[in-house]
């Protein structure tokens, strides 16, 4: 892990592997010395932690996306999996690869261990002769280990090359998609438009991402309360991005000079959210507790967001509060403002959620042909985390993990997984390389991997007009491989890859398991 993380920081022609280098260091070391193999529990725990923490963060956005672009992206991903399954059949027949090896090659090229396991489990249903079955049972595993490394590295290389070819500006993409780090500013606007809706409904009515933080009426300053109206001549202080405030000025009135954040009639404070009673609940339900104060913006990680009635706070958020002088200390106590309490992560909800995810991953679902489908230690925790992340809290239990802790656990989890899976694949890789026919399987797997990568990136970006960072995340989800997601996230430094990954991952996990068995039935 240490060597891989160190090598991953080296940039050559603008390209670096990032944390994915851990996989290839593990693969290289185990190829040199097969005894260097970590116990399976290492990468099972690492993978579970990684996908669970991603699911917690992506949960709210995942279910929102299913109401808009999520179904379209899943249908796109399903089409890609169907296309590569057909190509796998053609490649196996063309290169005259043994059917069982061909199915294993397919699962390695699309980097899906549960699919490979399903192939092995399906063989006894097709092959009844004991001696032949014993011979064929090892072939999918060997072919999988041969195709797997290219299945990871090939995707990463394709993303890097296509990103350069398309001349992707990740920062501009993030701004267009609304996930970029944007500076929020405050400006005063004199109202000239009569008959405006109340200040709490005004943003929604006009489609503005702003919040009115103060009202000046006849020289007196007020913190807005639900239902408050403004008349021509009043002055409102508006928080938003420069573009949104410019739109607000056109609809409300005229821009006034001066910095309203230095108004001494009110107090302003950034407060850490460490009080669990304030998280997991929409702000509209917290309004009775916020008398004499107003939350105008939330900073989560490095991203500032304008507050709405539907905003749900998380532990570790920093809120900007505008309050009367005698209420600012109450606001501090209400939200907690304790960095120490944030550092003392409550592990019980995390471990309960992880355990529940692993249990869900072990539940067998019967498929046609007498085969059972299991989501495993990746699919189960991810699905449970998406649900719990969207729920936020259940009674007194807060499922979300503080932002900083989430990122730390995620990095540790992916490093453990890559170290474990790399050393596991390396042992079989060395043995298989001694067989000349192995080069055929490696070549066939490479064709499938580059086909999936190129097809997804080209069609997704050029035809469907999906942001490249999100398409790369969709590709990582279709490959069901966190190393690809980690690499893309390192390159983009925004949330687009995670959005794409979590949208298609559950579908891809199930679809590839079924596709691998169909390929096996077609080849034998």
Listed range (221-230, 267-276, 366-375) with the worst mean pLDDT: 366-375
CA separation for the pair 78, 358 (Å, rounded): 25
Nearest CA to 424 out of 6, 43, 22 is that of 43
What are the tens digits of pLDDT across the range 113-125? 767 767 876 777 7
CA separation for the pair 508, 491 (Å, rounded): 23
Alpha helix stretches (DSSP H) within 96-232: 99-109, 113-126, 130-165, 170-177, 202-206
Q: What is the pLDDT of residue 115?
A: 78
Select the highest-mean-pLDDT range: 93-102, 168-177, 287-296.
Answer: 93-102
CA separation for the pair 338, 61 (Å, rounded): 28
Q: What is the pLDDT of residue 208?
A: 85
Higher pLDDT, 158 or 50: 158
Q: What is the mean pLDDT of residues 218-246?
A: 85
Select the highest-mean-pLDDT range: 11-15, 213-217, 481-485.
Answer: 213-217
Has residue 301 got a pLDDT over 80?
no
Bridge partners (DSSP) of residue 372 are 366
Other CB atoms within 10 A of residue 386 CB = 26
Has residue 209 got a pLDDT over 80?
yes
Q: What is the pLDDT of residue 117?
A: 67
Has residue 6 got a pLDDT over 60?
yes
DSSP H or E segment with residue 42: helix 40-65
CA separation for the pair 425, 364 (Å, rounded): 26
Q: What is the pLDDT of residue 15?
A: 62
Q: What is the mean pLDDT of residues 205-234?
A: 85
Q: What is the mean pLDDT of residues 7-17?
A: 75
Nearest CA to 47 out of 376, 372, 353 is that of 376
180-342, CATH topology level: Alpha-Beta Plaits (3.30.70)
Q: Residue 264 contacts by C-beta under 8 Å, 6 or more apart in sequence? A: none
CA separation for the pair 160, 488 (Å, rounded): 9
CA separation for the pair 376, 359 (Å, rounded): 9
Q: What percent of the chain has pLDDT over 90?
A: 23
DSSP labels, 256-289: E-S-GGG-TTSEEEEEEB--GGGSSSBHHHHGGG
Q: What is the pLDDT of residue 261?
A: 60
Residue ranges of domains in the chain:
2-175+347-523, 180-342
Higher pLDDT, 346 or 463: 463
Q: What is the pLDDT of residue 264?
A: 65
Confidence tier at 154 by pLDDT (50, 70, 90): very high
Q: What is the mean pLDDT of residues 258-275?
A: 76
Has residue 381 got a pLDDT over 90?
no
Q: What is the mean pLDDT of the chain?
A: 84
Q: What is the mean pLDDT of residues 96-102?
A: 90
Q: What is the pLDDT of residue 424?
A: 75
Nearest CA to 55 out of 327, 346, 360, 340 is that of 360
Higher pLDDT, 369 or 405: 405
What are the tens digits of pLDDT across the range 186-205? 888 999 999 898 888 888 88
Listed range (50-54, 159-163, 346-350) with the worst mean pLDDT: 50-54
Higher pLDDT, 425 or 365: 365
Q: What is the pLDDT of residue 370?
A: 60
CA separation for the pair 335, 494 (Å, rounded): 27
Has residue 462 got a pLDDT over 90?
yes
Higher pLDDT, 78 or 139: 78
Higher pLDDT, 323 or 157: 157
Has residue 440 got a pLDDT over 70?
yes
State in words which class domain 2-175+347-523 has.
Answer: mainly alpha
Q: What is the pLDDT of residue 432?
A: 66
CA separation for the pair 89, 13 (Å, rounded): 37
Has residue 180 got a pLDDT over 70?
no
Q: What is the pLDDT of residue 368?
A: 60
Q: What is the pLDDT of residue 109?
A: 94
Listed range (166-170, 230-234, 288-292) with the worst mean pLDDT: 288-292
Has residue 365 got a pLDDT over 90?
no
DSSP H or E segment with residue 382: helix 376-391
CA separation for the pair 321, 288 (Å, rounded): 15
No. of helices (H) and no. of strands (E), the chain: 20, 13
CA distances to 50, 81, 105, 399, 426 from 149, in Å: 20, 19, 11, 35, 9
Listed range (3-17, 72-86, 314-328, 464-478) with the worst mean pLDDT: 3-17
Q: What is the pLDDT of residue 14?
A: 61
Q: Residue 436 contacts by C-beta under 8 Å, 6 or more apart in sequence? A: none
Confidence tier at 182 by pLDDT (50, 70, 90): low
Helix (H, G, I), strand (E, B) or coil at 215: strand
Has residue 444 got a pLDDT over 90?
yes
Q: What is the pLDDT of residue 140?
A: 83
Higher pLDDT, 126 or 8: 8
Q: What is the pLDDT of residue 372?
A: 65
Has residue 369 got a pLDDT over 60?
no
């Amino acid at each position: 892990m240490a060597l891989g993380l160190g090598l991953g920081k080296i940039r050559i022609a603008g390209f670096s592997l990032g944390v994915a280098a851990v996989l290839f260091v593990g693969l290289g070391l185990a190829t040199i010395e097969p005894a260097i193999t970590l116990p399976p529990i290492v990468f099972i725990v690492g993978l579970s932690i990684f996908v669970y923490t991603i699911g917690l963060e992506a949960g709210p956005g995942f279910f929102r996306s299913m109401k808009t672009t999520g179904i379209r992206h899943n249908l796109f991903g399903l089409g890609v999996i169907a296309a590569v399954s057909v190509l796998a059949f053609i490649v196996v027949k063309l290169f005259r690869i043994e059917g069982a090896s061909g199915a294993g090659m397919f699962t390695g090229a699309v980097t899906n261990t549960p699919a490979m396991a399903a192939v092995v489990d399906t063989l006894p249903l097709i092959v009844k002769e004991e001696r032949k079955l014993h011979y064929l049972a090892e072939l999918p595993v060997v072919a999988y280990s041969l195709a797997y490394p290219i299945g990871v590295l090939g995707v990463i290389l394709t993303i890097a090359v296509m990103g350069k070819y398309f001349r992707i500006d990740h920062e501009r993409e993030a701004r267009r998609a609304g996930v970029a780090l944007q500076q929020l500013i405050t400006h005063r606007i004199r109202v000239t438009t009569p008959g405006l809706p109340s200040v709490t409904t005004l943003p929604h009515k006009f489609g503005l991402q702003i919040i009115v933080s103060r009202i000046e009426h006849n020289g007196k300053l007020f913190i807005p309360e639900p239902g408050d109206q403004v008349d021509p001549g009043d002055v409102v202080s508006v928080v938003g991005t420069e573009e949104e405030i410019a739109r607000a000025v056109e609809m409300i009135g005229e821009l006034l000079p001066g910095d309203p954040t230095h108004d001494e009639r009110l107090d302003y404070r950034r407060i850490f959210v460490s009080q669990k009673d304030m998280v997991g609940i929409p702000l509209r339900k917290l309004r009775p507790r916020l008398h004499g104060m107003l939350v105008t913006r939330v900073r989560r990680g490095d991203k500032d967001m304008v507050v709405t009635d539907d905003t749900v706070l998380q532990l570790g958020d920093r809120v900007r509060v505008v309050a009367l002088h005698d209420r600012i200390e109450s606001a501090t106590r209400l939200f907690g403002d304790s960095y120490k309490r944030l550092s003392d992560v409550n592990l019980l909800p995390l471990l309960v959620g992880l355990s529940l995810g692993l249990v869900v991953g072990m539940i067998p679902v019967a498929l046609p042909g007498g085969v059972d489908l299991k989501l495993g230690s990746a699919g189960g925790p991810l699905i449970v985390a998406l649900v719990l992340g969207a729920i936020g809290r259940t009674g007194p239990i807060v499922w979300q993990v503080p932002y900083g802790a989430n990122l730390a656990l995620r990095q540790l989890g992916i490093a453990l997984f890559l170290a474990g899976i790399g050393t596991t694949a390396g042992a079989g890789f060395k043995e298989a390389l001694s067989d000349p026919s192995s080069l055929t399987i490696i070549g066939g797997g490479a064709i499938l991997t580059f086909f999936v990568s190129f097809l997804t990136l080209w069609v997704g970006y050029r035809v469907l007009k999906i942001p490249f960072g999100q398409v790369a995340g969709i590709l990582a989800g279709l490959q069901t491989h966190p190393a690809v997601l980690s690499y893309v996230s390192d390159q983009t430094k925004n949330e687009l890859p995670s959005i794409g990954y979590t949208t298609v991952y559950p579908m891809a996990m199930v679809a590839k398991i079924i596709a691998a068995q169909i390929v096996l039935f077609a080849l034998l």
